[in-house]
A and B are shown apart, each in its own frame.
Chain A
Amino acid sequence: MIPTVVLAQAGATNDFAEMVAEGLSLGSIYALLGMGLVIIFKATRVLNFAHGALTAAGAYLIAAFASIYDIPGRWIPGVAPWFSWTLSVILALIAAAFLGVLLERAFIRPMVGEEMFAVALVTLGVDIMLRGITNDFIGTDPRPLGDPFGTQILDLGWVTVAYSEVAQFFTAVVLVAGVALFFRSRTGIAMRATAFDQEAARAQGINVGRIFSIAWAIGAVLATVAGLFISIFPRRSAGVDTSTAFFVFRAFPVVIVGGLDSVVGAILGGFMIGFAESAAVSYLQFDFLGAGFGGIVPYIVMLIVLIVRPYGIFGTEEIRRV
C-alpha cells in the first residue's frame, strides 16, 4: 500500500531531484544491458542484436519460476515470500545462463571466423526467432514477476523512490563490481586474452570455446536482471509483456557511445544516456517537439559522440590494414 505520508507531500518533491533519481534508475538498467553487450562483444566479436529477446525471455523465466509455477516456493511452504522469490530468481538466472550458452553453441559457434556483419545479422535472426517463441509463452496478457517490493515507496522528503528502484541500483552496483572482479580472475584474464587475439589465446592453452560460452552466459544473466527491473513496479507494473524486448533498442547507443569493447564505457555511457534521457523527459516538454522526444535522445547523443569520436569515447580504434 501507498504510505499516506507520501500522498500528503505529493508535489512537494524537487523536480531536479526527481530527474536525478530517474537518471540513476534508468542509467543502472542501461549499464546492465550495456555491460552484457560489451562482454559478449569483447569475447566473441559479436554485436548481440538478440539482447532484447534475451531480456524478455529472462524476465519471463523469472515470472515462470516465481509467479506462474512458484518453484521452489511450492515445495517449501512457510518460508518468507522474499526468500522463496530470491530462490526463484536465482533458478531463473541459471536457466537464462543456459539459454545464453545454448544460443551461442547453436548459432554463434558455427559462425566463428566469419565477417562481423554476418554474425551480427545472425543474432538479428535469433532475436526474431527467440522473441516469437517468448511471446508465445508470455501470451497476450502481461505476466507479473511476483516481486516482494510491491508498490512501497521510500520518501526522502525532496524525492520519492520506489523500493524496487533502490534494490535495482544496489544490484547494478554489485554486478558492476562483480564484473570488475571477474576480469581479474583467471577466467576473466583468459577472456581478455581471447578478446585481444583469439589464435594467440588458443596457442596459450585457453579454451576459446569455453570463453565464448561463459561470455554469453554472463550476457544472458545481465540481460535477465535488466529484464527483471524493466518489468516490475514502477516501470511496467503489470509485468513482462510482448513489448519488453523493445527496451533494448534504446540501449544500443549506450555501447556505441562508450565504445563497443569497453566495459567502463558501457557503464559510463549507460549513466550518461540515462541522465540525458531523464533530463529530456523532465525539461524538454515543448509542444513543437511532439510526443516521444525523450525516446530519440539516446540516438542524438550517440550521433554527436560519433561525429567527434567514430569509435565511441572509450572504444579502441581499429587499425586498418590492407
Chain B
Amino acid sequence: MKHLTRWLVLLLAFAMVAAACSQGDDGDATDDTEATETTEATDDGDSTETTEDMTDDTEGDGGDMMELATDFGVDTENMTITLGLLSDLTGPFGPLVSAIAEGIRVYWEDVNANGGINGYTVELDVVDTVYVVDSHVQLYEEMRDNVAAIQHSTGSPHTVAILPQLAEDSMLTIPLTWYSGWSDPALNANLLSHGSPYCLESMNGISYIAEDTGGTTIAIASVPGDYGLDGAAGAALAAEALGLEVVYDGSGQIIPSDETTLTAVANGITDSGAEIVWTTTTPGTMSAIFGQAIANGFNGAWGGNSPNWSPSFVAPDSPIKDAIAEMYYNSTYQVPWFDPAADAERELFRQYNAEAPALDYYLEGFTEAKIMHEALLAAYDNGDWTRAGILAAAKSLESVELGSYAPSEVYAGEPNERVQRASYIGRPDPAGLAAGESTGWTLSEGPYTADITAAYEFNEACYSLDG
C-alpha cells in the first residue's frame, strides 16, 4: 500500500508540473476556438479588450455586414444572440411564469423564422430559480457570461439581490415583477420595467369595485414582501382617496406556508363585515381564504392584484366557481387571451404552439419579448451589441408600442410621467371556461385608469424595501 501511494503521489506531482508548463498553450487554444465562451469571459477584467477582438473578427468574416461591437452572448460566427430567463417554473408562481416563458419562446421562434434580428437568431437560456434568492443569485452567476441581456428576472427581492452584479456587468434586465420601486433611480439603472405597479393596480381595482358596488368599507389582506405590501399600500391609498373605511387591515398577515394565518385572515375579513375585500396574495392562499370566508357567511365584493388569480378558481370541478363568479373582480395588465384586441398575438402563438391550453400569461411573455426586441434593434442600429451597448440603447428608448392588447410603455421623463397607470378589470366567466371560449374571465373595462390613479402623484415607491 505504501508503495502504491508513493507512486500515485509521484505521478500526481509530475502531472502538475507538466500542466504548469503547458499552461500557456492551453490558454491560447481556448482563445482561438471559443472566443465567446465562458473561459474567455471569466478573466472578467477589461471587456473592452474582448470587444475589440470581436469587432475585428466580424469585419473579417462578415464583409458587407455593418460593423457590430459585441462582447458576451453574441456569436458572430453562427449569428446568434442569447438571452437569459431567470424564471420561477416550479415555485409558487410556476403556473404564471412557465406560461410567460412559453409566450417568450414562441415570440422569438417567430422572429427567428422571419429572419431573426437582422440575420441573428435569438436563443434563450431558461433556468428555474424556484423563487429562491440564493438559487437566483447562483443561476445568474452561471449564465451571466453566456447572455447578452436578461429577458426576465422573477421576483423583487431576488432581482434586488443581483442588482450589484447587474450593474457590474452592465446587463439589461426586464424585471418580472410589478413592484412600484422599479421607478426609483437607485434601483432601475439596469432595469426596464413594464405594466402598472401593484400599488397603482390596486387603486384602479378598488376604485372600479367601489364604483360598481357602491361599497363603503374595505378589508385589506396581503402576503409580506414587496409584492404583498406594495399592493396593500396601494389599497390603503385608494381607501384614503375614495373615503372608504378600512375595517380590517391584514397587510402582510398571509403567510403561504402557514395555514393558520389563512384562517386568521378569513376570520378577520368575515368579522369586519367589509363590503369590499382587496387581497394581494398567491392563487393557492387566495382560494383558501376565500373558501373559509364564504364558509363563515361572507358575501362582499372581492378583488385582488393580477397574481392573485388562477383560472382554476372557475374550473368545472372547482367548488367555489359560482361564488367567485358572483363576487370576484379580476385585475391584470392586458386583455384576456380570447379578446379581439389580442387576435394577432393569439394567431401568431397558435402557429407555433397549437396544443398548449389557453392562458392569458402568454401575452405577458409577448410584452416582455417585444420590449427586449425594441431594445436589441435600437442597439443594433447603434452598431453596439455589447451588454453595455444594449443597456444604453434600452435606456434611451422613449416608448414601446405593444399592440392593442396592452397599453404602450413610456420610458422617457420623470417617474410620475412615465409610470404605467392603466390596468384591465374583468369578471370571472366559468361558463366560458367550460365551453373553451374564455380563459375564465371576460374584460369589463380596459385599459382603465381610475380618477384617483390618474391624480396620484407618483414620485417614490409605495412600499420601500429597507437596506
Contacts and interface: CB of A to CB of B under 8 A. Distances in A.
Contact, chains A and B (beta carbon distance below 8 A): yes
Contacts of B284: 142, 236, 238, 241, 243
B343 to A, nearest CB: 26
Given A10-B270, A140-B98, A292-B255, A236 B261 contact: no
Nearest to B257: A246
B297 A7 contact: yes
Interface string B228-260: 000000000000000000000000111111111
Contacts of A149: 319
A235 B292 CA distance: 6
Contacts of B318: 144, 237-239
Chain B CB within 10 Å, residue with most, of A234, A241, A278: A234
A234 B261 contact: no
B297 A153 contact: yes
Contacts of B40: none
A291 B297 contact: no
A281 B319 contact: no
A146 interface: yes
B90 interface: yes
A142 B224 CA distance: 22
B315 interface: yes
A291 B283 contact: no
Given A135-B90, A142-B283, A291-B252, A285 B264 contact: yes
Contacts of B283: 141-142, 238
Nearest to B357: A141
User: Which of under 10, 10 to 19, 20 to 34, or 35 or more describes the interface residues of B?
Assistant: 35 or more
Interface in A142-192: 142, 144-147, 149-151, 153, 155, 160-162, 165
Contacts of B216: none
A146 B319 CA distance: 8
B155 to A, nearest CB: 16
Contact of B323 (A10, A13, A151): A151
A127 interface: no
A295 B270 CA distance: 20
Nearest to A161: B295
Contacts of A281: 260, 263-264, 267
B294 interface: yes
Given A233-B295, A291-B255, A142 B261 contact: no
Contacts of B271: 11, 15
Interface in A197-250: 232-239, 241, 243, 246-247, 250
A147 B322 CA distance: 15
B246 to A, nearest CB: 15
Contacts of A67: 317
A20 to B, nearest CB: 14
A18 B264 CA distance: 12
Nearest to A291: B253
B273 interface: yes
A316 interface: no
B310 interface: yes
Contacts of A250: 259-260
Nearest to B291: A237
Contact of B319 (A10, A144, A247, A285): A144
A10 B299 contact: yes
Contacts of A232: 319
A237 B267 contact: no
A277 B260 contact: yes
A192 to B, nearest CB: 34
Contact of B258 (A6, A18, A144, A295): A295
Interface in A266-297: 277-278, 280-282, 285, 291-295, 297
Nearest to A63: B317
Given A237-B287, A237-B291, 19 more contacts: A6-B297, A10-B296, A140-B95, A141-B311, A141-B312, A142-B283, A149-B319, A151-B295, A151-B319, A153-B295, A160-B297, A161-B295, A233-B319, A235-B292, A238-B310, A238-B313, A250-B259, A292-B260, A295-B255
Listed from nearest, the 8 A-B pairs whose CB atoms lie closest are A294-B260, A237-B291, A234-B295, A238-B287, A295-B258, A140-B94, A10-B297, A140-B95
Interface of B: 90, 94-95, 98, 224, 252-261, 263-264, 267-268, 270-271, 273, 283-284, 287-288, 290-292, 294-299, 310-313, 315, 317-320, 322-323
8 contacts: A1-B322, A144-B312, A151-B291, A155-B297, A237-B290, A291-B253, A292-B255, A294-B261
